[in-house]
Structure 1
Amino acid sequence: MDDRETDFRAFVGAQMEPLRGLAYLTCGDWQVAEDAVLTVLARLYLKWDRIDSPAGYARAAVVRAAIDETRRPWWRREKSHSHAMPERALPDRTAAVDDRLQVRQALRTLSPKLRAVLVLRFLEGRSVQETAEALGWPEGTVKSYTSRGLDRLRAVLSVDFSGETREERHAARAF
């Protein structure tokens, strides 16, 4: 094994799970997320020596690949004609896990583009400029999608974002 392959294997070992999680949050399906990540890693291997920032390239490419996967005709056909029972997320007894599940469900209601922007901006902690570069969009589009995505999340979650904790809201309703 040469240095190039050793470096690539170390990169994949360290980045596989974070990339898979990013792809899942973007598309909402673990199998599609896995396909997107493996496709990107295969392309990355071919370009390994020419890329200055493999982690940045991989994150941006995974988001794009996950969005592209959901646009394919077979995806819509499979999703609309599935005979399997839909997955049901059962609320956990802890508020943190329950909130996480609710946010994940709310993210699934968004379009892949809105979801990608919110995931990059708030879960990856990227700035508007970094998100725009990663997606290849103008900054104004990222700002617009961020605003629309947050508005839709607020509507789905029925949250006023006033700073109250979930427990405080529930306690106020009890009295």
Structure 2
Amino acid sequence: MRTTDDGAFAAFVADQAPALLRTAVLLTGDPTEAVELASAALGAVHRRWGELAAADRAPAARAALLAEHPRWHRRTQLREAVAATPLLRGLSLAPVPAPPVRSALTTALGRLPAQQRAVLVLRLGEGRSVQQTAADLGVPEESVASDTLRGLDRVEELLPADDRPAAGVETALRTHLAGRTAAVPQGFLAGVLDGVSTRRRHWAGLAAVAAFFVLVVVLVLLTTR
């Protein structure tokens, strides 16, 4: 991104971060994971900044957040499975933090497949219509309707008997999700930009390794003629 765009991107992050972080908290159930997910989404917009019209940048950030969520969801589930298994935790090359303490509803929601979880978050946590949710996720409206019903049924199954709400799971989830908030942490913009730089270094390193192997292959072919 050009230097002259730095101020515009900083203003964009300041404007979009609160809403993106709240959606990310609803999706991940964890503030730390939410910051990483929102940062990745904003980083995706940063990389396409010059290609996107001003009016398309906010929708692109939201689309990137929802597209990244399944990968984050799988990673979180894997990490928590490792943390809950002493043998796997002992074999891990890096320290595995203990899973955060969560409410029964958050825990049950986190055990749903990524799409069912996203549908419930958008429908119940953000008040999106079936049509809007389908457009957000790029799925048929019929899938949204079925995922809503299946997700609610599964959440009820996963809740311990003592934690099943008398008012019903749907009402309880609406209240629970509506009460979740997210504060933009200090240094959030710097974290987004650092993530962009790290990704660039990663791809540059891969390109260098690939170029080295191509050179080796060429040299081998030339010397064997």
Q: Structure 1 length normalisation: TM-score?
A: 0.69
Measure how far apart 1:152 and its partner are.
Answer: 2.5
1:98-149 deviation digits (Å, cap 9, x = unpaired)? xxx4433332232222111111112122111111111111111111111111
Q: Which amino acid aligns with 1:159?
A: P
Runs of 4+ in structure 1 off by over 6 angstroms are none
Q: Which amino acid aligns with 1:62?
A: L
CA distance in 2, matches of 1:120, 1:76: 21
Measure how far apart 1:61 and its partner are.
Answer: 1.7
Q: 1:38 to 1:65 in 2, by over 3 A?
A: same
Determine whether 1:69 maps to 2:72. yes
Measure how far apart 1:29 and its partner are.
Answer: 3.8
Aligned match for 1:87, one of 71, 88, 100 = 100
Q: Which has the higher contact order (CA 8 A, sep 6+)?
A: 2
The question of whether the paired residues in 2 share the 8 Å contact of 1:33 and 1:66 is answered with no
Determine whether 1:54 maps to 2:60. no
Q: 1:81 to 1:71 in 2, by over 3 A?
A: closer
Task: Tell me the SS of whatever aligns to 1:53.
Answer: helix
Measure how far apart 1:77 and its partner are.
Answer: 4.5
Count residues in correspondence: 150
CA distance in 2, matches of 1:109, 1:103: 10
The question of whether the paired residues in 2 share the 8 Å contact of 1:36 and 1:62 is answered with yes
Q: Which residue of 2 aligns with 1:41?
A: 42
Q: Which residue of 2 aligns with 1:18?
A: 19
Task: Tell me the SS of whatever aligns to 2:128.
Answer: coil
Q: 1:27 to 1:86 in 2, by over 3 A?
A: closer
CA distance in 2, matches of 1:86, 1:78: 8
Which stretch shifts more, 136-145 or 106-115?
Answer: 106-115
Q: Percent identity?
A: 35
1:47-79 deviation digits (Å, cap 9, x = unpaired)? 33524333332223212212122335xx55532
Determine whether 1:103 maps to 2:105. yes
The question of whether the paired residues in 1 share the 8 Å contact of 2:44 and 2:61 is answered with no
Measure how far apart 1:160 and its partner are.
Answer: 4.8
Q: Which has the larger radius of gyration?
A: 2
1:16-62 deviation digits (Å, cap 9, x = unpaired)? 23312312321334443322222221221233352433333222321
Query: Root-mean-square deviation (CA), in Å?
Result: 2.8
CA distance in 1, matches of 2:119, 2:12: 25
Q: Structure 2: give runs of 5+ residues left out of the alignment.
A: 84-88, 90-96, 173-225
The question of whether the paired residues in 2 share the 8 Å contact of 1:27 and 1:112 is answered with no
Q: Structure 1: give runs of 5+ residues left out of the alignment.
A: 90-100, 167-175
Q: Which amino acid aligns with 1:129?
A: Q
Q: Which amino acid aligns with 2:164?
A: S
